[in-house]
Structure 1
Amino acid sequence: MTYIEQLQKKHITVLGLGVTGQGIVRFLLSHGINPKVVDSRPVPPCADWLNHNAPDCEAVFGNLADAALAQTDLIIISPGIPLFEQSVAQAIAKGVEVIGDIELFARLNTRPVIAVTGSNGKSTVVSLATEVLKAAGLKVGLGGNIGTSVLSILDDEHDVYVLELSSFQLETTHSLACLSAMILNITEDHMDRYPDFQAYIKAKQRIYQHVEHIVFNAEDQHTFAEHGQGSSVSLTEGDYHLMKVAHEPYFAYKQTPLLPVSSLAMVGKHNQFNALAVLALLAPMQLPTSAFVTALGAFRGLPHRCQLVADVAGVRYFNDSKATNVGSTVAAIESLASTKRNIILIAGGDAKGADLTPLKAPLNAHCKALFCFGQDGEQFMPLLRNSHRVNNLKEAVIAAKSIATIGDIVLLAPACASIDMYPNYMARGDEFVQLVEEHTLV
């Protein structure tokens, strides 16, 4: 009996009807399974879709206590819902199995998987890896936390899958077999979800459960695998590193040059690290060097990730709205830093309970000013002497422009989630781009 046939005999509840939940329901329906659909919101985002496309599915929206979760055989949960939520925890205590869509994918997939997690840089690494694989002529399925449901790309057409995985997704993943997997970095994040930093690290470490080729960050011990050896990545000290060949920097493996750093179109030290991570992750695939050269030269990066918006009168404006935690903001500052304190940082939003003090050293080393806004903007004020509280992003951009001189960098890297003022980080980044165009390109 196939696993799908086993599922067809079970009473299945899909918990959460956002993007992930919709993908799960759509997949189950395609295999003749009508699940019960539950969401704590009175009107979840995909309620209309469910009503039109799956009218035979029982739906319970609102209080989870009314959903009888303990009376189902299997709960397929969306990553935004914690396992410690009372109704979920009670169902688990009663013996109900709770998995996520990544685990369901893992139980059905037969193709090689390249998996990446980390606090920062995941989307860039998986996107670049995908482009390299495509340049090598392979059919690639890219999904997971990057915004595409893994179940929607599960088919026999793909040669390999590249998955971006969050700690939330990994919490409910037990049997994902990977050809290679990497934790890029781990810095404090989602402290509103986890009891402490160690719990967050433990969730990330779950990516190494069933991996043939482990890759880790040589400069971040939190990324080291507890068992087994692997390949390390670092600009200076990893198995995959940078080296000089006739005064030109090269990406290298154990002092063997692979290709020049100049082949990488993206700017910044953090993107050099990302390229090394891709080289390490894809090593088991034994791809031609030409595939890397083609992809690294063509890939310009993703929007809202240290994206150069404009260069106006010698002042460069960068949009890194995706920097939603302290670690990503530190990375952005250090990647753009020079010998001068020439960065004007715009930060603030919902800090998610994080400790902001790790920002203090890079701010004082590389930033001439800080403009902070949003719900937790006040918490940034003690980090740099030249800090200014503003009411919104518009005020921050105008104020930054007023003090910027030739050679300066105005950087939006908020170190916070955007939900206090925006629907998402993309909307925040889009507004920044628009404000730069309106108030500097004149």
Structure 2
Amino acid sequence: MIKFDNYSDRLIGILGLAKSGKAAINSFIERGAQIVAWDDNEKILEQVREEFSNQSKSLLFASPAEEKIWRRADAFLVSPGIPMYYPTWHPLYKVAHGQGIPLYCDIEFLYQKTNKNVGFIGITGTNGKSTTTALINHVLRSVKIKTEIGGNIGTPVLELEELNSGFYVLEVSSFQLDLLEKTRFNIAVCLTITPDHLDKHGTFKRYVEAKQQMFNNQEKGDLAIISTDSYINNQIMSEVIARKRAKVIPISRTEQIEGGVSVISGVLYDNYKSKKRYNVPDINSLIGEHNGENMAAAFTACIGVGVKPEEVIAAFKTYKSLPHRMDLFHRFNGINFINDSKATNADSTYWALKNFDNVYWIAGGICKDSGIKLLKPFFEKINHAYLIGDAAEGFAAILAESNVPYTIATTLVNAISIIKAQNIENGNVLLSPACASLDQWKNYEERGNAFMKLVKEKWPG
């Protein structure tokens, strides 16, 4: 756990009390800080009140309406995902700006606490962030480089162990990037950016601007690793090159790039360092064309800190995929069951439908982007769709245009029961929702775990 000696007897405002907010309370209270905290979710708020009931002398819960208390804070720590400026300014955003109070995410606090012998590797983009983060961490640890992995991947950074050397390997969301000031990523990775979280940012332009902040504090000697597989990413790369600070290394999953790294059809082309090509075929934990980008990014980052190319390739082959990502977790008499609950937008589901045929597709939840129209090239692969959550009616209308059979199942439980009753004999039952989970679940992990449990109950063995 990260501990903050320099905040003893100072007041820290913490907004958002899920995982990162609770970790922050523990970190600051450990060294004598005073905390004012709040969460708009009443259930979470009550859980935290109960959990920290023995800290009443150090911890005060106050709503944003109690501005006098929040104005006394020395800094605000804001949890990821809390909309600060869209569709309207959050009341505490106004307080912070009006009083000149720093407004940070937990990564900024970690950076300002960490000694300069420790490097920061940050990974952002729309899809693939978690896999790339985990893959980099796996490779570095395989060659005995000390790391701590956290951020948007799941572990709050203030729960990590303090390092005196090595690297913090961090998945960084657009919300966290919006709340950084001094954080410098020695290696900054930007995967392909596509529209996402527009309900929190308002426009795609603002979402992209948040992602670009990844490179703001880089200096000479740092690396900026940027996918060239989209027009937006190429614009970002041009702007980073124009700054003449970090060394820019392009990556791609579609074409070989001069001075860059590509992974195409099972071959990694290193035109950056070794000028060699390496076979990376049939790595079960990295199936799918989209993982070419993830491997190219991880390879480039790791050789950037001195790992030999051959060591990176060897480590790829021992990597185990993260849960809820195209995980073929169960087979039963010719039926495959795939948990891709992490697919919270259509761009992510695109790769699942591209990778599998003969699909029985479970989709729906809270739609974050333009829906599933971009998936039309794969509709012919879908034998039947089972639609759940808020997006069910909208998805049904799009599927009907292409004569794709569907059932509005409403819930995951109903969808599984319907599939069981249909007595399918072979095919791929795919949970790849193309939607966020928060209409019916705490998060995508809970949704994925429920899917796996239901499947194993209905199709035991």
The residue aligned with 2:48 is 46
C-alpha displacement at 1:108, in angstroms?
A: 2.2
The residue aligned with 1:380 is 395
C-alpha displacement at 1:416, in angstroms?
A: 1.2
The residue aligned with 2:326 is 306
| Structural mapping, 1:177-196, within 5 Å | 177-196=184-203
Q: Pick the aligned partner of 1:342 from 358, 368, 376.
A: 358
The residue aligned with 2:64 is 64
| Whole-angstrom distance in 2 between the partners of 1:119 and 1:13 | 29
| Structural mapping, 1:206-355, within 5 Å | 206-211=213-218, 212-223=222-233, 224-225=236-237, 226-228=239-241, 230-237=248-255, 238=257, 239-242=260-263, 249-254=266-271, 256-262=275-281, 264-266=283-285, 267-334=287-354, 336-337=355-356, 342-352=358-368, 354-355=369-370
C-alpha displacement at 1:233, in angstroms?
A: 1.9
C-alpha displacement at 1:136, in angstroms?
A: 0.7
C-alpha displacement at 1:412, in angstroms?
A: 0.7
C-alpha displacement at 1:15, in angstroms?
A: 2.4
- For residue 231 of structure 1, what is the amino acid of its counterpart? I
C-alpha displacement at 1:137, in angstroms?
A: 0.7
The residue aligned with 1:18 is 18
1:115–1:235 CA distance, 2 compared to 1 (3 A): same
- For residue 184 of structure 2, what is the amino acid of its counterpart? A
Say whether the 8 Å CA contact 2:226–2:251 is kept in structure 1: yes
How many residue pairs match? The answer is 428
| Whole-angstrom distance in 1 between the partners of 2:326 and 2:4 | 43
Deviations 1:169-211 (A, max 9, x none): 1111122111211121222222221211111111111111123
C-alpha displacement at 1:112, in angstroms?
A: 0.8
Q: Pick the aligned partner of 2:374 from 359, 362, 366.
A: 359
The residue aligned with 1:437 is 456
Secondary structure of the 1:268 match is coil
- For residue 73 of structure 2, what is the amino acid of its counterpart? T
- For residue 366 of structure 2, what is the amino acid of its counterpart? D
| Whole-angstrom distance in 2 between the partners of 1:308 and 1:207 | 34
| Whole-angstrom distance in 2 between the partners of 1:434 and 1:154 | 33
- For residue 104 of structure 1, what is the amino acid of its counterpart? F
| Whole-angstrom distance in 2 between the partners of 1:431 and 1:33 | 39
- Give TM-score, length-normalised by structure 1: 0.88
The residue aligned with 1:94 is 99
1:209–1:305 CA distance, 2 compared to 1 (3 A): same
Deviations 1:266-322 (A, max 9, x none): 122222331122112222112034532443222220111110022333332210011
C-alpha displacement at 1:89, in angstroms?
A: 1.8
| Whole-angstrom distance in 2 between the partners of 1:189 and 1:101 | 22
| Whole-angstrom distance in 1 between the partners of 2:302 and 2:135 | 11
Say whether the 8 Å CA contact 1:181–1:213 is kept in structure 2: yes
The residue aligned with 1:396 is 415
Identity of aligned residues (%): 28
1:185–1:47 CA distance, 2 compared to 1 (3 A): farther
- For residue 377 of structure 1, what is the amino acid of its counterpart? A
1:11–1:201 CA distance, 2 compared to 1 (3 A): same
Return 220-229 or 419-428, whichever deviates more: 220-229
Over the residues paired in the alignment, what is the CA RMSD in angstroms? Answer: 2.6
Secondary structure of the 1:308 match is strand
| Whole-angstrom distance in 2 between the partners of 1:373 and 1:220 | 31
Say whether the 8 Å CA contact 2:131–2:321 is kept in structure 1: yes
Secondary structure of the 1:233 match is strand
Deviations 1:390-431 (A, max 9, x none): 23223333544637554x322111011222222221221122
Ranges in structure 1 where 5+ consecutive residues have no aligned partner: none
- For residue 122 of structure 1, what is the amino acid of its counterpart? K
Deviations 1:69-119 (A, max 9, x none): 233332122223332212322331232221111111122222111110122
| Whole-angstrom distance in 2 between the partners of 1:162 and 1:285 | 12
| Structural mapping, 1:90-169, within 5 Å | 90-109=95-114, 110=116, 111-153=118-160, 155-169=162-176
- For residue 49 of structure 1, what is the amino acid of its counterpart? E
